[in-house]
Chain A
Amino acid sequence: MWTIIQIELFKIFRRPRTYIAFGAIAALIGIIQFGLKLDGKSYTDFLMKDIGGSMEIEGNVLNGYLICYIMLQLLLVHVPLLVALIAADMISGEANMGTLRLLLSKPYSRTELLLAKFFAATVYTLMLLVWLAFLALVVSIWIFGVGDLFLMKSSYVVLLNEADVFWRYTGAFCFAALAMVTVAALGFFLSIFSENSIGPIVATMSIIVFFTILSTLNIPVFNIIKPYLFTTHLNSWKEFFDIKVSDTNDAIIGSIQNPQRIINSVFVLILHIVGFVGASIWVFNKKDVLS
């Protein structure tokens, strides 16, 4: 098993396509950082416009922590595309290239092969997130420094102490990793049905975009199904940045407003991963390889 995992990783990291994602993230983050470095003031002014009505904000709002949050918010919409680029290609790409039949005529079971491939896709996804975390958090802190994190939610704002932020990012990145592995699992599942990689990549993205729209729309009919859509849960990393308040309306340092939501989402996402991978194994074991 370890041999095929090694081989799958070797294949992933020998492909130019793999580095597109790393490059794309670096470019996106670089541009945002550059832009905010140049003109961060007008961006934050725009952001604070709504709260400016009755409150004044003192201090360096635009620090590394806020920039990381902004980027996570933006990029976690795009990263699924990059994850799909590899995950949805895991089987279909080999079918397209014609290597799948050779691979499957080797003395490993299809289940082993799929698990190894999924594991490799997961490693890729995690590395992508580590890369994202490094650029969005570490580099932003290096450029913009640290400070308290001031966040605007739809019906309230949250101010987190500098010392109360890093662990939240750790949690958020771990959660985001799980969310992205779910995307990988979806792409992986779709990739077994196709003999070219474009189909599953587009299908994965379409499903995510479609479900995200359903998740975003605040229409009563959709609200019923929302809790069951995995896209609703992909964004639960934000819960790490919502703090509990005491009876006297003081934020309780180190607390999370809705830890249950995170737990629920983790549970739903794990269920999806197990479901997608399980279904992949089930379907793939019955599939005739004609490519």
Chain B
Amino acid sequence: MKAKVKVTLKNGVLDPQGKAIEGALGSLGFSGVNGVRQGKYFEIELAETDRTKAEAQVKAMCEKLIANTVIENYAIEFT
């Protein structure tokens, strides 16, 4: 089973990299960009075949290491 995890900065946490990307898009002539937030994406290959167990496992991974929940949110998907 493969888990896909997206980690994003929480709302209200300043994202200077997103701001820099937004500025660069503007200077390339892309108009109408109202905001850019940058995040991280992980693909995790799991030996576990039970969906419920896999979910619990990946949630624990996110809480313990993959995301810093002080500043980041995470979302898990399975394929």
Q: Do the two shown chains form a genuine complex with each other?
A: no
A residues whose Cβ falls under 8 Å from a Cβ of B: none
B residues whose Cβ falls under 8 Å from a Cβ of A: none
